Structure 1
């Protein structure tokens, strides 16, 4: 407070503030419902919001009324030598979202804007506090490594809401597997050539991603999570050609997932002539990696709902039971 006071006393200030950036975003700053051009032209030309610490320049003070501003109910209201006014709503910044701090903020705002209803202002502030309240993650264990990275990536004001949504996530109803007893039989004359094709398709994914996702070269369970996160971060399903995704990415992703199942869970390919019918036998189930890849690449949300991470972890849980045994 003293630093700002000394600075604002020596330099011309039209308006300055110190507050939570997350709360500022939720309040609509810096536009406050205006278009960008209008906002840049007019700036903070009236009291759109009162923050924890505020410096109101002389013009803004006069537009509100100096006496009204000096009589604001607040922790600190001080007239500076250059005609600016320093206003601090609450003693400490760290608890700006507490109910007591919000009451003080609402009182100051409603005082400076008598056209506003105090109860309405307070309700909006309390809603923002609720939106910013931390939410403890309890993600499904299959997808916890991926969801944690997704939450860490978004802006901090979005994390409580997103954490709540991902806490409620459930396993997809479309499960890309069959009991081993229902597996389609091999129907190709030269299975080795088909297996070599899978390997080549998986290498296509490595070629596409090796710079952005270096771990893709290792083809490990951890690399699946890295791929999931990269595709989600870049919003690949909605920013790439649908034709290209279905023609190139779906086969490459499906083959890569199948290879990881084979190499890390002792899986076994069951080659089929039709790409989408190819299966990987793991334990008492056969998995359909190309169908999984098709669902996976439909949308940004489907990258989470049908993640490669989750597919592997679910297969891992069931790989202990042998073919022909009852499903877990």
Structure 2
């Protein structure tokens, strides 16, 4: 299990912690977890979880944890989650009480990372991890920026997933802010070399592991001083690497995470401002830069002069457009609740939904062309009618059907068909931009 990261595009980076330790299970969850929970309760200053989730949610207590574990137990063990809303905390615990080699896996995410800017809180976190690693012998444990860890290639570091899971942390791939190297890694690097790592704190643990903490604080990992310290420790433990090469890679990662100010196309800003949250946190700044540079084609689905209606019963055709629109609402109202409102914001929510789902490329083309695109065109035209005072001008060829707004007539069915051609077309021919353009020409 993994700790979730916030989907807010403005969310700060978070601290990511992983530990896989040996579990000496003797038939009582409470007894085996007591050292873990004691360390958590005494060191989680400012971010202590307050909710336990098993089969249902309960207020944090040791009794609640035992009950949740009993509820979630199966032949493989038990998994529970501990939460806190503010700051955002998600702690996943997996317990596998195998008689051959029991295992406790802890996955912890805390946001924002700025919570760990101060020395005192960071050292409390380090002491908590030290207590855990001393009681539950580990192969490897780490704590670091979530975004930077992603850029480092964790957790597989270029290996195939199956091979990585089989081999585990079989060699030292990276040195993070906090590291606990188990006996196998200590032996591979050389115990004396490990204990002389240039770092803020290096400590041998009673079970043969070694704790290495690069710097007093975790949040400043992109600073030049931190990157130099990280490179020195990495090259010390992997002498076949070169300092300049490692440092250059770390600086590139820092540059990739440097904040980029959003400067989106004004008509598309309501949509583009929400897209970065759909990417891993390590990619968001690069995506903001890409979306800043994106300039969609100007909408040309309009005419300066209306083509007169060529249908025999215009009112009946207009009603059929309403039926088409209602079919879209019926199909998507649970996934896009604002679709009931028929507002500009509803159009942006639809843009986002179709993009997130990669709708044009995931669903059958004949279904899209015959049903989705016409229903979307009817809905889009309906929003122009309701919100801009437009008037339908029906045509036998549905893509020629128009909505008069001000001195122009707009072609919503044509726009909807273009919109549904590909994932990129969802941005090139967004509903949001089309509405804004029509709005500007209302008077």
Displacement of 1:305 after TM fit? 2.1
| Distance across 2 between alignment mates of 1:161 and 1:233 | 18
Q: Aligned to 1:38, what secondary structure does the other structure show?
A: helix
| Distance across 2 between alignment mates of 1:32 and 1:258 | 50
Displacement of 1:245 after TM fit? 0.4
- Aligned residue pairs, count: 318
Partner residue of 1:40 out of 165, 177, 188: 165
Choose between structure 1 and 2: higher helix proportion: 1
Whether 1:143 and 2:268 are equivalent positions in the alignment is: yes
Please name the residue that 1:323 is paired with: none
Please name the residue that 1:291 is paired with: 414
Q: Aligned to 2:424, what secondary structure does the other structure show?
A: helix
Q: Aligned to 2:233, what secondary structure does the other structure show?
A: helix
Please name the residue that 2:361 is paired with: 238
Displacement of 1:189 after TM fit? 2.5
Partner residue of 1:75 out of 183, 200, 203: 200
Displacement of 1:148 after TM fit? 2.0
| Distance across 2 between alignment mates of 1:95 and 1:107 | 17
Whether 1:206 and 2:329 are equivalent positions in the alignment is: yes
Q: Which moved more, 1:238-247 or 1:2-11?
A: 2-11
| Residues 265-297 of structure 1: per-residue CA shift (max 9 Å, x gap) | 111122211111111111122211111101111
Please name the residue that 1:25 is paired with: 150
| Distance across 2 between alignment mates of 1:47 and 1:152 | 31
Please name the residue that 1:12 is paired with: 137
Query: Where in structure 2 are the equivalents of 1:117-266 lying within 5 Å?
Result: 117-173=242-298, 175-179=300-304, 181=305, 183-266=306-389
Displacement of 1:174 after TM fit? 5.2
Choose between structure 1 and 2: higher strand proportion: 2
Gaps of 5+ in 2: 1-125
Please name the residue that 1:103 is paired with: 228
Displacement of 1:212 after TM fit? 1.5
Please name the residue that 1:325 is paired with: none
- TM-score, normalised with respect to structure 2: 0.69
| Distance across 1 between alignment mates of 2:351 and 2:299 | 18
| Distance across 2 between alignment mates of 1:271 and 1:103 | 68
Q: Aligned to 1:149, what secondary structure does the other structure show?
A: coil
Gaps of 5+ in 1: 321-328
Q: Aligned to 1:14, what secondary structure does the other structure show?
A: strand
Displacement of 1:138 after TM fit? 2.0
Displacement of 1:34 after TM fit? 0.9
Query: Where in structure 2 are the equivalents of 1:277-316 lying within 5 Å?
Result: 277-316=400-439
Q: Which runs of 4+ in 1 moved over 6 A?
A: none
- For CA contacts below 8 A with separation 6 or more, give which structure has more relative contact order: 1
Partner residue of 1:271 out of 394, 409, 415: 394
| Distance across 2 between alignment mates of 1:218 and 1:33 | 47
